[in-house]
Amino acid sequence: MAKDKGPRRPRAETPKGFRDYFGAEVTERKAMLDKIAEVYHRHGFDPLETSAVETVEALGKFLPDVDRPNEGVFAWQDEDKDWLALRYDLTAPLARVAAQYRNDLASPYRRYAMGPVWRNEKPGPGRFRQFYQCDADTVGSASVAADAEICAMLADALEEVGIPRGDYVVRVNNRKVLNGVMEVAGIFDPADPEKFTHERGIVLRAIDKFDRLGPEGVRALLGAGRKDESGDFTKGAGLSEAQADVVLGFISAKRDSGTATVARLRELAGGSQIGLEGTQELETIAELLAAQGYGPDRITIDPSVVRGLGYYTGPVFEAELTFEILDEKGQKRQFGSVAGGGRYDDLVKRFTGQSVPATGVSIGVDRLLAALRAKGRSQTDTRGPVVVTVMDRDRMAEYQAMAADLRRAGIRAEVYLGNPKNFGNQLKYADKRNSPVAVIQGGDEASRGAVILKDLFLGAKIAAEASHEEWKSQPAQTEVPREDLVAAVRQMLGQG
């Protein structure tokens, strides 16, 4: 008789579309977010942490182009029959907080938030279902000074984390101007904003692809449609040539100065009242930024910025990194966008029934970290701890005392707690931990009141690069008196 099989062992694998973050990555991210938080704090913004779970009703339906259950969120029904979901961004929870605590919070309410979000979307290369966001928003101010402040703060944050001036630009546009141009083109009706929604969605996506497809590719999407290199056909917005000319004129309206760009946009918006409002707001934003010293080398008016989400109602902005990197095919390209946002005056209204003006920005944390690594500008110390090796189990207390002395001096340190029988394994462990220094004390060293310090980084470098004579002249380990342990380690770490 066959033996019954036991329960199947679970597979040790990360779910599709998710990833694990280890020591150095977590350390780098925290250091970067701490620097961004300092900038936000200086601007008077307060931190806010909301629940990772919201009601589906509170989250709303603002995920664009999602063909997934529950509009692309991870949702479930609880025992009270209410539908709950993991938050897909940090803005929808803010809208709920602003409505729920509106009588307690100062108005305008200025907050920043950092944390993971979840999207039930099809994963792909570099596209995960869980990722980090870092947001800053002002709720309760209709003044475009709030939008200008967000743009200035974004520029400051990029420089604070290590993106120098000249390697980034914050591009600003206004959805009101775009609506005005669409009104001139005949696909926006101020009296019935829901009319032509489908066509406008296609136009927005087409404009967003201008850098990749160029004028002719975008014109095709504005018209009947476009067939790509693989033969796939994308249906267009169905605009006439004259209508497409108006939209393409809007995309290419950028001039050498913000003033000239706004003047050209004013021409294109013609007699549209909403378009005129938008150009006036852009003009004010440019003046406010110039008065604070933010020139076009840092923040510029750019009509090609549209932002995909449908809830934007006014100024929109995007931070683009302009330096070049090599893509997976070895070709040079600009790094691209790492942050975006805009004004969304109708989001809180869902809860209160009253319009509550709001504006904010979201930084793509993983993309910004990748940019810093690509430029070698991640300044975080990702070295592992100093490892105190164990030569004699009976002297564990002495080894622990060494580690304690190092910690009291502010140095990361640990005692090896595996099987100490094979000393080579202890050094292999230290290498895996990316440890800079190993502390060694056997019976002979203990009798002399000494310890041996092994510089693991220098040792690896010498082994890889130096000749035999150089190797002998640059010993990677040294013996020091036990009482000099802390000072000697500090010197090895470059802290002396």
Q: Is residue 471 part of a domain?
A: yes
pLDDT number for residue 357: 94
Q: Is residue 209 part of a domain?
A: no
Split into its structural domains, the chain has a count of: 1
Helix, strand, coil share (%) of the chain residues, nearest 5: 40, 20, 40
What lies within 8 Å, CB to CB, of 459 at 6+ separation is 476, 477
Phi/psi of residue 308, each to 5°? -80, -35
Report DSSP state, residue 190. T
Packing angle of the helix pair 258-269, 241-251 (nearest 10 deg) = 160
Burial of residue 70, with CB atoms counted within 10 A of its CB: 0-12 exposed, 13-18 middle, 19 or more buried: middle
**Other Cβ atoms within 10 Å of 335 Cβ, number:** 20
pLDDT number for residue 488: 95
Q: Is residue 143 part of a domain?
A: no
Residue located via tokens 């394994």 = 425
Note down the domain range covering 406.
386-492
Long-range (24+ apart) CB contacts under 8 A made by 427-432 are: 427/389, 427/454, 427/456, 429/387, 430/384, 430/387, 430/389, 430/456, 431/456, 431/460
CATH number at residue 427: 3.40.50.800
Q: Is residue 447 part of a domain?
A: yes
d(CA 483, CA 234): 74
Q: Is residue 454 part of a domain?
A: yes
Residue located via tokens 């066959």 = 2
For the chain (496 residues), the mean pLDDT of every run of 10, in chain order, is 73 92 90 96 97 90 53 84 90 94 95 95 84 96 96 97 93 91 84 82 82 85 84 85 86 83 85 90 94 93 78 91 74 82 89 92 92 77 90 94 96 94 92 94 94 85 54 69 96 83
Question: Mapped to the 3 state alphabet, what secondary structure does 355-368 carry?
Answer: CCCEEEEEEEHHHH
pLDDT number for residue 285: 95
What's the pTM?
0.83
Q: Is residue 469 part of a domain?
A: yes
d(CA 28, CA 262): 40
Nearest residue to 142 via CA among 321, 296, 348: 348
Beta bridge mates, 339: 319, 363
pLDDT number for residue 468: 46
What lies within 8 Å, CB to CB, of 495 at 6+ separation is 411
Q: Is residue 61 part of a domain?
A: no
Q: Is residue 214 part of a domain?
A: no
